[in-house]
Structure 1
């Protein structure tokens, strides 16, 4: 198991508690990737330092601490520029340097099962990798395993790999166009159905709720990004009403832009839906931030105009009555459920049916 040291920066206007929450999430991402977090470093900055993101003295301190802890991966919660990653490699000897985006892409690669998901993830990864290609990364030797595999190669080899990656990007784009055409044909067949799309922060319990509502057996795992492929099943809303319910890839804070662009064909299920269910983990202390992230992604996709219902899942885990009252006060139109305990699912179905009868 790889050992990791995580780095968070507290910039003006950002609370330290928020940064700690973000680093907790980074720990979950690393656990999903199969790494162990052995240390955490935070630093207050008035502004980002161009060469190393943090100051040079702090950068050297981070490298020394990593060596003392015997870690082989330093992970920044913020995205590093290609130049910053190269500068760290000059200091870091054999320690790999990654940022949050690189880690998320690595997890997506591990979890991609279908041809569509693999193509989308590979394209996003290649586009992320191309400007960052150093001796740490190599497209051909990444198959060796490990998070952000390092390989020893000279500059000439890097140039060869750049050309290989550019060719790969062109091929993946052509493949995605073909997949998108196939998807479009499938969506055309469903255009007369009332379509409901589930979106939410990763690990909010979307797949559990999907299974509870439809009786399906979608893969469920208590880890981030267990679901990458969109699954569609029939949802019975009473004796004479039915809808199509889709479960999509989870969102996360700072989701790499390339990944959103690559997953557009998958996320078109959301764009072409008649209703969006925003699934939130009611037991999360940063649920409001999760909702903000979801709204940002929906806006980027161009789905802000679609009717929506907020669904507070895992309500059985909320024992604080004041929190329940605050949620009811701040989100009067939301539906609180427990997918795991099958609590109040009929209320959610009734709300979906009301939208269906009013708008469809």
Structure 2
């Protein structure tokens, strides 16, 4: 039996529409979460949505919506009142009487708001909830950052594994990372995410022997696991520092070269443009976070001096803080680039918000000072009327499709023209004793003419001012 015949596991999306979030934004957030979950390998069968003033402290949703969610997963829809391994009998009895789960807030207090329970809906996905009766959802994906206790309560009520938005993104990064640097960064983020969500096993209170000669209470199994995670994170950070020093050395070797960085929201088409501009075989896939590693290739057909193009990992809203480290290479490439090309998917109705996310992140690191151009990609999916509207709204933007060779050729010429504007004419004297530098000159400048005399060669060149200073310093040594 082939893998194409195997059924994908099912998932349910959960979203709470908070004050200040309109219907369009809420729907867009849930649609994006659905794509993330699909990228993770699950089919979404339904969406449970609710309007609330805040997330329910105990289990995110109100009582009514929680039971509605449980019908899709086969759970009880009720958060068990006790956590035996964490409570003594007296506290368990008090918790049972009040409906409270220790440390998780009062289920009755937060969920008793009838107005909150009535708002929202459960929107079935392909086939609807009825079709999923035989196959229950095994994953509940929540479009918010939730606490470990909220996740634990949701798992008790639904009988399914619960991942918040951060957990979904981290798992995708973990599966898609390829380079050593990306794997290290993502593993650190994953361990930081997992550590506070560890819980005692059924054995509960067993402790390892502690102290010299076995004296002292020692560590519980949970404390031991958390210490192991801290030690592992420290080890990974040490290894990552070594890898990043190597990356810094490579970037230093590219100083003075003409560099273009493609930046933008995930799945905006950066990798497709990278492949079209450079002829490289970078991964192109219609899914979120298909690219997690920065790739650098020369513009093709090559020009002299070379223009390097960087394909970077995409941005996304509500990115987990621990994963910002995974953007280190991307952010460095953006800061050190000569030109930033902001790529946006013009066929996505929310691309304006996505563009704002990209600009906001790059502005925070000071990359807003780097010269930039706006590329509205995937216009082949738009009507001529829609294209005209975009031209009026974004007169400075370039409308193109990475699938149309003429559009790519025009973009290539505009990139070359940008660098031509900043080039100056100069003359370099290359002594015969330093003929070994001829390759360096051709690599960093366009040689217009050469004349050789008694002292050496006189080369007329067109070159970027920074590269000219570097070449003159090499010739003066």
**TM norm. shorter chain > 0.5:** yes
Partner of 1:49: 56
Partner of 2:143: 77
Over 3 Å counting, the alpha-carbon distance change for 1:343 and 1:252 in structure 2 is: farther
Partner of 1:147: none
Instruction: Report deviation, 1:2.
Output: 2.2
Task: State the secondary structure of the residue aligned to 2:178.
Answer: coil
For residues 264 and 352 of structure 2, the distance between their equivalents in structure 1, rounded to whole angstroms, comes to: 12
CA RMSD of aligned residues (A): 2.2
Partner of 2:167: 102
Partner of 1:303: 367
Deviations 1:108-138 (A, max 9, x none): 1111112111101101111122222247xxx
Candidates 235, 259, 279, aligned match of 1:215: 279
Candidates 37, 40, 43, aligned match of 2:47: 40
Partner of 1:143: none
Deviations 1:215-266 (A, max 9, x none): 1111212221111111101115875453110001111121212111243134
Q: Tell whether 2:399 aligns with 1:336.
A: yes
Task: State the secondary structure of the residue aligned to 1:304.
Answer: helix
Scaled by the length of structure 1, what TM-score is found? 0.88
- Which one scores higher on RCO, CA 8 angstroms, separation ≥ 6? 1
Partner of 1:243: 307
**What is the 5 A alignment of 1:58-69?**
58-67=65-74, 69=133
Task: State the secondary structure of the residue aligned to 1:131.
Answer: helix
Task: State the secondary structure of the residue aligned to 1:244.
Answer: strand
Structure 2: gaps of 5 or more residues: 1-7, 76-132, 206-219, 423-463, 465-477
Candidates 355, 367, 388, aligned match of 1:325: 388
For residues 64 and 275 of structure 1, the distance between their equivalents in structure 2, rounded to whole angstroms, comes to: 53
Structure 1: gaps of 5 or more residues: 136-150
Larger deviation: 183-192 or 257-266? 257-266
Larger deviation: 344-353 or 5-14? 344-353
For residues 77 and 100 of structure 1, the distance between their equivalents in structure 2, rounded to whole angstroms, comes to: 5
Partner of 2:211: none
Q: Tell whether 2:208 aligns with 1:201.
A: no
Contact 1:101 1:255 in 2 (8 A): yes
Over 3 Å counting, the alpha-carbon distance change for 1:153 and 1:115 in structure 2 is: farther
Over 3 Å counting, the alpha-carbon distance change for 1:207 and 1:354 in structure 2 is: same
Partner of 1:272: 336
Deviations 1:69-109 (A, max 9, x none): 521111111111223223324434x4111111100110111
Task: State the secondary structure of the residue aligned to 1:105.
Answer: helix
Over 3 Å counting, the alpha-carbon distance change for 1:225 and 1:152 in structure 2 is: farther
Instruction: Report deviation, 1:57.
Output: 4.5
